[in-house]
Amino acid sequence: MPERFPASLQQKIEDRLRYYEDLGIRLFYTDRGPGGTTIVAPEPIASVSSSAPIIEETVLPKPTTKPAPAKVAPVAPPPLVVHPTGPSLFETMGKVKDETLLNIREDLGDCTRCKLHKGRNKIVFGDGNPKAELVFVGEGPGADEDAQGLPFVGRAGKLLTQMIEAMGLQRKDVYICNVVKCRPPENRAPEPDEVTACSPFLIRQIDSIHPKVIVCLGATAAKTILNTTRGISQFRGEWLEWRGHKLMATYHPAYLLRNPPAKADVWKDLQKVMAELGLQLPKKSKS
């Protein structure tokens, strides 16, 4: 019988594996060097600066009233950097003009285009403003979303809502959707055939909304859309261009729930998005 790890060590290993999973790393291999066996992750992980300010859920800036459009944030937007490693999966897909989200939802129907339909309760098409300037794209529905048919409604969704409100917006101001619209079993990452079947609907949604900015939440969404094998830590927070839209990838709210210090990085990313959209930075409250 193999010897069990002490409970504390086992917990640490589980936490670390979840951390890797949030960065899109699901495969590990062993390096049998002369010094013994070492578990090696296939790509480097960015460290989080201990000096960065930590934004806790409780200290996220309070939502402000909708900012006046004339006042542009003092932070200059960073230069546009085209960074993906290769052509996007969707580069060859032409734009369909004058489609509405309703048309696209009707076309999706009671979809059975991939095997994910077998385990779903509800299709999670997307939610929000059909003319939003800002679109958030996640990986796929979880249990809460599958039950309600709405994206980002669980704990991670609550945190995303707080992040949106910290930007001075409300959920109804933005649009939120996922790469795949049915819940993968046991919350695994969507498989390539599932992404291939479902993602044309995501593209049509984005083309219909025509946002100024797209924010990819988490490694899977970012790597799928950009068709890159790079770890999200290598391009998180950078401006990219995708099908004529400015796109930024940042960490998934579920990852932030497990790693609160990373909220500081995400808040920096969202401030860049606010500057791009001409939103005012929240005023610091007087202590």
Mask of contacts with ligand SF4, 70-109, x by CB under 6 A?
--------------------------------------x-
Cβ neighbours of residue 285 under 8 Å, at least 6 residues apart? 61, 62
Residue 160, φ and ψ in degrees, nearest 5: -60, -40
Under the binding rule (CB under 6 A), the answer on residue 169 touching ligand SF4 is no
Residue whose pair of structure tokens reads 């959707």 in the numeric block = 177
Under the binding rule (CB under 6 A), the answer on residue 23 touching ligand SF4 is no
Q: How far apart are CA 281 and CA 67, in angstroms?
A: 9
The β-bridge partners of 240 are 247
CA neighbor of 60 nearest in space, from 270, 255, 217, 248: 270
Under the binding rule (CB under 6 A), the answer on residue 180 touching ligand SF4 is yes
Q: Closest distance between ligand SF4 and the C-beta of residue 165, in Å?
A: 29
Q: Which is nearer to ligand SF4, 171 or 181 (CB)?
A: 181
Under the binding rule (CB under 6 A), the answer on residue 139 touching ligand SF4 is no
Under the binding rule (CB under 6 A), the answer on residue 145 touching ligand SF4 is no
Other C-beta atoms within 10 Å of 125: how many?
18
Q: Which is nearer to ligand SF4, 162 or 224 (CB)?
A: 224
Out of 134, 164, 176, 198, the residue judged to bind ligand SF4 by CB under 6 A:
198
According to DSSP, the β-strands at 127-128 and 36-40 are: unpaired
Positions 105 through 124 that interact with ligand SF4 (CB under 6 A): 108, 111-114, 116-117, 123
Q: How far apart are CA 237 and CA 275, in angstroms?
A: 13
**Contact residues for ligand SF4, defined by CB under 6 A:** 108, 111-114, 116-117, 123, 180-182, 194, 197-198
